[in-house]
Amino acid sequence: MSQHSAPRPAATSNTANTTATADIVVVGSVNADLTVNVPRHPEPGETLLGSGGGITAGGKGANQACAAAKLGGRVALVGAVGRDANATPATALMREAGVNLDHLEDVDDVTGLAVITVAADGENTVLVIPGANALVDATFVRAHRAPIEQAPLVLLQGEIPADGFAEAVKLAHGRVVINLAPVVDVPRDALLTADPLLANEHEAGLILAQLGLDGSGTPPELAQRLLDAGVASVVLTLGAAGALVADADGLRDIASPRVTAVDTVGAGDSFAGALCFRLVAGDSLDDAAAYAARVGAFSVQRPGAQPSYPNSGDELPGAAR
């Protein structure tokens, strides 16, 4: 079985961003993204010629950590990479953004790999090989409990083992934000701690099915059903249509600026990172979601995931009317 190494040294690009001062701790995946551009997505059994083939930084955990840090958030990440050539490009932009990597371990496995196909209309498909991410289990997470216990907000996704996910929820003393993507089986009690539960329309249906409930219906119906199941708040992302926020005060539509999408890879992760960045700053859920929609709109106008995310000084698309 693969063995963990000593934790990696902290990122040197932002020495003030230490684990002890992290407002957001992301427990999640780190991937190298292999991106292929195609005129359209192939049909089953079909071969198409593509372009690209470069390796860039990805993984839902890393993407969301990088998005929040680039906006100015104090962020730490708990996760793992392999001892292979892909580890360096997979972490480069997080280091540049100032994400604290004290709790990112080198392990005896390959770095997670995502093979991304981007069609000319900007829509994408993603195939993920977990690699080192599969070692971020309950034992691993317990070994890195300090930043999780200290964080005002812990952010989780679905690209680490379910017991690691559940252990992070158990250790968290602050707010827990869950973006269960991909939708994997996790303990019900852990899932229901989400505040908010962040999902797109498809994921919301799968989560409801996992809870033993009807996963069909309109976004408002899905959101209300999740609230009725015991989730404190829900944010459903709806692409160019914006988002839907739902909590005990009701359901509210959040509009998105109109932009021309070039590449939607990682757009949902930019939304998640931006949402958490504004929540720890004290914004209401509605205001945080509106800001996140603008960040998401910024990101789809540029290729790639982390390279497309705005920095704190960048001008975001105007608030939608």
Binding residues for K(+): 263, 265, 299, 302, 304, 308
Which residue positions form the known binding site? Answer: 31-33, 59-63, 159, 200, 237-242, 263, 265, 268-269, 299, 302, 304, 308
Which residue positions form the known binding site for ATP? Answer: 200, 237-242, 268-269
Give the 3-state secondary structure of residue 234.
strand
Which residue positions form the known binding site for substrate? Answer: 31-33, 59-63, 159, 269
Q: Which of 106, 137, 269, 286 is catalytic?
A: 269
Active site residue 269: yes
Q: How many CB atoms lie within 10 A of CB 106?
A: 18
Instruction: Give the number of C-alpha atoms closer than 13 A to the C-alpha of residue 52, restricted to the C-beta side.
Output: 19
In the sheet that 24-27 helps form, which strands lie side by side, from edge to edge?
Answer: 4-7, 100-107, 75-82, 24-27, 153-156, 175-178, 197-200, 234-237, 243-247, 250-254
Q: Which of 171, 190, 159, 156 is nearest to 27 (CA)?
A: 156
- The beta strand positions in 28-157, using DSSP E, are 31-37, 51-58, 75-82, 100-107, 112-118, 124-129, 153-156
Which residues are designated catalytic?
269
